[in-house]
Amino acid sequence: METTASLLLSFLVVLILLYKRRPSSLREIPGPKSKSFVLGHLRELLQQPAGLAEIEWQRVYGDVIRIQTTFGSEQLVVIDPKAVQHILCSGYKWRRSPVRREMGRLSSGKGLAWADGETHKRHRKLMTPGFRASETEHFVPVFFACAEAMSTDWKKSILSTDEQSHVFDFTRFLSHATLDAIGLAALNYDFGSIKNHENELAKAYEGLTLKPLHDVAQVGNRVAHQLIAQKIEEIQNGAPHNDIYTSLVQANLQESSKTRLSDEELVAQLRNLLFGGHETTTNTICWAAYELARNPDLQARLRAEIKSTWKREDRRESDEFTLKKLESMPLLNAMCKETLRCYPVAIHLFRTANEDDVIPLSKPIIGTTGRTMMEIPVPRGTNIVVSPSAYNRNPAIFGKDASEFNPDRWIEGRVKTEDSLGMPYANLASFAAGSRSCIGWRFAVAELQVFIVVLLRNFIIESTPKLANIRRESALAMIPLIEGELEKGTQLPLRVRLVASK
C-alpha cells in the first residue's frame, strides 16, 4: 500500500515538474481552459464531430492555440499558414509524433507511415515511382471499370423497383468499389468485392477505420502475405504489370543490399497502401456524393459539363476519359477541390519537434501577457497538431465564405493559389505537405474525378430524410455517421434514380 502511495506521489511530482518546465513561450499562447486533468482537451478534439473543436478554438483564440492533452501536458494546435508550412516542409526537423508512428506500426507494420528520418527517405524513394503522374494515367481505366461495375449493379436494382429508384448506402458500395480499385491499381489483384460482397479478403478489409488496431494489423498481415505470394509468382513468371507494387519490387531490386527493403518492410508497404488508399478515398467520394445530393443545381451543372465533354470526345462507348480530359473540366475539378477542402478525411496531422526551433507566423498573435509575438520559439519535443479542417477554412486563402461548400470559388478565381504553401494539391492541407505528404494524392484525385463522372453520367443522386442527421465522425478517417444511429457504424443512405438519357 505504502509502495503504491509513494509511486503515485512520485508520478505526480514528475508530472508537476514537467508542467512547470513548460517553456514560457508556450505558456503565453492563448487557448481554452481544460476541464479534465487526465484527458485535457482530447475529448473535444477527438469526440466531437471532426474538425469542430479546432474551428471553434480558432474563432476565439486565433491561428495558434495552446491545448492540454493527457495529464496536463500541452500541445499547440497550429492553423497559421506560414507556421503550418514551416512545420510540414522543414525536412525531418519536425517528425511524425511517436504516438502516430506507433499507430502506423500497429495498423500497417514498419512501412512508410511508421518510418522516420533516413529510413523514411529510403522507403519513400522506393515507393515514389508507382505514384508519378504517368503511372496515375494508367489507373484511370481501372477506376472507370470499378465505378462502372458498381453502376451496372445499381442499375439492375433500380430497374427492378416500382418507383424506379433505390436508396443505397454509399459507404458500403463505395467501399467495395474502391477496394477493387486499390487492389487492381496497387497490385493487379482483383478483390472482386463489387461482384461478390462475401469475398473473404474484401470482407476482412471492410470498415477498418472502426475496427481496433489489433484487428487491423491481423487482417493487414494476412491479406498482405496472401497477396504478395501471388505477386511474386507473377513477377517470377515474367508477367509485366503497371501496378504500384510491381514498381516498388522492381525499384527495390535495383538497390544495394544495404538500402534494399527487407521482406518485412515490403509486406508493410503493401499494408500501408491498402490501409492508406482505401478508406480515405471511399469517404472522400461519399462526402462528394453527400454534397451532390444536397445541391441538385450543382449536380445538374456538373452532369451537363460531363455530357458536353463526352460529346466533344466523340468516342466509342467503350473508351473512357483520359486523365488530361478529366483535368480539363473546370466544374469537375472545382468540385473535387471543394470536397477535399471541406472534408479532409485525414483529420489531424501530429508532429513533434526533433530539435529546438522557432516557428514563424503569417500574422502576429497576442500572448496571454499582452505581448505581440511574431514567432514562437519552441524546444525539442514540442508536440503540435495541424488541423486540415481549420486550415482549409482560412478566409485569407479561401475567401470570406470559406465555411460554406461552394465549388464556384475555384472557378471564379477567389482562392489564393499563387503563393502555394508547399501543399501538393490546390493549396489545401488535406494531403499534408513536405516529405511526409500523401504519396497517393494524384491517385486519390483521379479516383474521385472518375467516380463523380460515372455516378453523374448514370444517376441522379437525391437526399433522404436521414441526411439532416449526418455527422462527420472522427474515426481513423472522417466518416459519415447518423446521429441517433451511431451504433450502426458508418452509413450514407442516398436515393438514386437513372438519368433519362445520356
Shortest distance (Å) from residue 253 CB to ligand HEM: 20
| 438 marked among binding-site residues | yes
Q: How far is CA 382 from CA 42, 53, 75, 316, in A?
A: 17, 21, 7, 58
**Minimum distance from residue 73 beta carbon to ligand HEM (Å):** 20
Nearer to ligand HEM, 95 or 166 (CB): 95
Q: Residue 451 is placed in which grid cell?
A: 467516380
Q: Is 306 exposed, middle or buried (0-12, 13-18, 19+ CB in 10 A)?
A: buried
**94-96: strand order across its sheet:** 64-68, 74-78, 383-386, 349-353, 94-96
**Least CB distance to ligand HEM at residue 337 (A):** 12
Nearer to ligand HEM, 85 or 280 (CB): 280
Q: Which amino acid is at 278?
A: H
CB of 277 to ligand HEM, least distance (A): 3
Neighbour order of strands in the sheet with 459-462: 165-169, 493-498, 459-462
User: Would you call 261 helix, strand, or coil by DSSP?
Assistant: coil
* Cell of residue 171, nine digits: 459507404
Helices (H), 373-463: 388-391, 395-398, 408-411, 441-458
In 261-407, beta strands by DSSP E: 349-353, 357-366, 372-378, 383-386
Smallest distance from the beta carbon of 28 to ligand HEM, in angstroms? Answer: 27
Q: Report the nearest approach of ligand HEM to the CB of residue 243 (Å).
A: 11
Nearer to ligand HEM, 166 or 278 (CB): 278
* Alpha-carbon span 179 to 286, nearest angstrom: 14
Residue whose Cβ sits closest to ligand HEM:
440
Nearer to ligand HEM, 409 or 436 (CB): 436
Interface positions with ligand HEM (CB under 6 A): 96, 100, 112-113, 124, 182, 272-273, 276-277, 280-281, 284, 344-346, 349, 430-432, 436, 438-440, 443-444
Which lies closer to ligand HEM via its Cβ, residue 34 or residue 284? 284
* 357 vs 365, beta carbon nearer ligand HEM: 357
C-alpha cell of residue 151: 453502376
**Nearer Cβ to ligand HEM, position 345 or 454?**
345
Give, in order, the Cα–Cα distances in Å from 169 to each of 237, 339, 469, 494: 41, 19, 15, 7
Write down the least CB distance from residue 27 to ligand HEM, Å: 27
Cα–Cα distance list, 44 to 57, 67, 68, 151, 196 (Å): 11, 10, 11, 39, 40
Neighbouring CB atoms inside 10 A of 266's CB total: 21
Q: Which residues are annotated as a binding site for heme?
A: 438
Q: Which residues are annotated as a binding site?
A: 438
